[in-house]
Chain A
């Protein structure tokens, strides 16, 4: 990362009503080579800053003032509709599949939903931010495993081997074949074989982009 030039740095806006957490995340991202262009304590302020600064990615806490319910989520949806060149990574204290799926309803391109806990694994978190900023997807493993879990014992999912299920879950999180191979410590060719097999078993149309692949998998997991 240190080798990147000033111009190529990924520009980030952070919105969270806890100044403590905001500063922590900012320090962590700067340390990982990102450029934090602005911080916001409210959803309204976030939208203003996104409009004027056009960052590559906005990191948004779901609960923000004034009602502390889902202001951040709504701001995220507005950003996705109006500012297509800004990706959104939503942070949440809880696993709420409903929130995540709302966010991914139309497209999985440049969007992420992670539990706040993930922040402490600095390397993983920075990679997820980068992936989302680059137009990819980052879905929290807890959300994915809950979706997969709720489908157990019903049909084709049971036909998957253990390894295939692991690959499926990593696909759903938004990882590329390279990412999956690094994670599972297997070759990329092996990953490709698993992916093909999974798509056949679940009778899904083959998808080229990683984020299309996420959507296909999620659509499958949601249906039923």
Chain B
């Protein structure tokens, strides 16, 4: 088992220095924040709150670094780092200078919004539905826009614990406006929290039992944290200090839950173990796709099976599938025992989780190989049925043409001839001279009718084949308007069906040369090669011939494949055309064929 995309691991090596840099910055910020917070006790902060805030910041930055190293393309890591630094930044609200004080006030509530985004984007770091994006957007409006607006009208002279530095955002200290804004901020907070709760509840309901176990740590720690943060936010007037501290402690546990969720590969393990159990009792075709879609949590998953003979992917129904043509889809090739087996066509988001794709692909390798064999069989049956239908149709067309030629040609002439003879018979006694003239005309008619019958008979089966392939091909070459060089190996005669196929290949190919190729010369080679007869017709004409549906070449290929052979057309524009048929000489013949063949040689 191998998976094509492994770039994630390569990137992590280059990212290490960056991660170390981030960690050093975080440590510095944490120390600065801790110092600031312990000094800020005069403004209502407790040591407990200070310590828990810094601890939470540390776990976020550390968790973010780990997540980013393991999943560079996943936004979860960077988001956690941002949340960590924001937490450190909140300590600036304790500063004695105006600028850090103001910044600290602005970012004070932002970590809560980041946590909301994190949980909704778990586990791939992306927001998927419009509702998710709406809720996260509203959360940022709440903690940034409304916060800034409120600060513009809020002086800190009246707040307990101050004197404070100047609020740089202050336009006018107006208690009415700022309490109105604070009120609307609280309303929006409640609405966003409720919407978040609904979205998480829906996700929980939709999850299977094992998936619930896997996502439970993230969901519960986040839910508890947000409830505590919101509760602390809504009760600022009579801050129960324990509540704020508790919310910070809960916050500190969030990154740990994420790391558990993301990296213990628990989800993948759960999915894969479920898959293995399911693979053991797959009831029918199509079930594998459903099982894999469930394990990968991608309902849009499609499977395509590799058919080496046709050099194409086909669906379970044997019909060709164009892999990689659809935009917004990603393809992962699954191998089993070192051979390409199938392609998973999936949501690009799954690429974020190569371990899961790898584990699922590996677990399903054998089952995929089984279904691949089925698909291959179906594709071959499909081709066989098509070619059978074409052979029958070609036979019908040939018979219809034959009937028409007979009816309009020889038959008509013979009837006319019988009329002429009838008339001549009547004239015989009365006008012998006219009767003689009539008989002469009748003989002319008869000659033409015989000639027509001969042409038709040759179209039915080349009687000349009874004299051997070489002789028959000489006749074909002689009739060709384009000069033909003929090389036919001697030796024992091939089976009649092989001789007939070779004859028709040469005949049809030379007809095409005369009709379409604008060639000045053609070469026919018939040679024995390791139990096979190789027939090759080449010309120096225009090239560009293809085996299209309903063409003579398609009919030839059907005829050749019907006796276990293989027909190939090489025809580049401007480079001439080469038709190569390889026919097995050991073809086991049916009794009818043998009898017919013997009859031909009489």
Contacts and interface: CB of A to CB of B under 8 A. Distances in A.
Interface residues of A, number: 18
A12 to B, nearest CB: 15
Given A63-B407, A68-B404, A93-B407, A119 B412 contact: no
B412 A120 contact: no
B388 to A, nearest CB: 28
Contacts of B423: 24, 27-28, 31, 122
Contacts of B413: 20
A186 B591 CA distance: 55
B419 interface: yes
A18 B426 contact: no
Which of A27, A120, A121 neighbours the largest number of chain B CB atoms within 10 Å of its CB?
A: A120
Contacts of A28: 419, 422-423
Contacts of B355: none
A25 interface: yes
A21 B419 contact: yes
Contacts of A122: 422-423, 425-426
Given A24-B423, A27-B423, A120 B418 contact: yes
A27 to B, nearest CB: 6
A25 B412 contact: no
Which of B404, B415, B422 neighbours the largest number of chain A CB atoms within 10 Å of its CB?
A: B415
Interface string A86-101: 0000000100000000
B407 A119 contact: no
A120 B421 contact: yes
Interface residues of B, number: 17
Nearest to A25: B419
A121 B422 CA distance: 6
B162 interface: no
Interface string A55-80: 00000000100001000000000000
A151 interface: no
A93 B422 CA distance: 18
A116 interface: yes
A118 to B, nearest CB: 9
Contact of B422 (A63, A68, A119): A119
A68 B405 CA distance: 12
A20 to B, nearest CB: 4
Nearest to B438: A27
Contacts of B425: 122
A120 B422 contact: yes
A159 interface: no
Contacts of B404: 68
Interface in B404-431: 404, 407-408, 411-413, 415-416, 418-423, 425-426
A117 interface: yes
Interface in A108-127: 116-117, 119-122, 125
A90 to B, nearest CB: 15
B412 A18 contact: yes
Nearest to B427: A31
Contacts of B419: 21, 24-25, 27-28, 119-120
Nearest to A68: B404
A37 to B, nearest CB: 19
B416 A21 contact: yes
Nearest to A122: B422
Contacts of A31: 423, 426
A206 B422 CA distance: 38
A21 B415 contact: yes
Given A18-B412, A21-B412, A119 B426 contact: no
Contacts of A117: 415, 418
B406 to A, nearest CB: 9
Contacts of B422: 28, 119-122, 125
Nearest to A125: B422
Which of B407, B412, B425 neighbours the largest number of chain A CB atoms within 10 Å of its CB?
A: B412
Contacts of A18: 408, 412, 416
Contacts of A20: 412-413, 416, 445
Given A116-B415, A122-B425, A24 B420 contact: yes
Contacts of B408: 18, 68
Nearest to B418: A120
Nearest to B415: A116
B39 to A, nearest CB: 105
Nearest to A120: B418
A24 B416 CA distance: 6
A128 B531 CA distance: 66
A119 B411 contact: no
A24 B404 CA distance: 21
B427 to A, nearest CB: 8
A120 B83 CA distance: 109
Nearest to B407: A93
A93 B412 CA distance: 8
Which of A24, A27, A119, A122 neighbours the largest number of chain B CB atoms within 10 Å of its CB?
A: A24
Interface string B385-407: 00000000000000000001001
19 contacts: A20-B412, A20-B413, A21-B416, A24-B415, A24-B420, A25-B419, A28-B423, A68-B407, A93-B407, A93-B411, A116-B415, A117-B418, A119-B418, A119-B422, A120-B415, A120-B418, A120-B422, A122-B422, A122-B423
Interface of B: 404, 407-408, 411-413, 415-416, 418-423, 425-426, 445
Smallest CB-CB A-B distances: 10 pairs: A120-B418, A24-B419, A122-B422, A120-B422, A20-B416, A116-B415, A18-B412, A21-B416, A24-B416, A119-B419
Given A28-B423, A119-B415, 6 more contacts: A20-B416, A24-B416, A24-B420, A25-B419, A68-B404, A121-B422
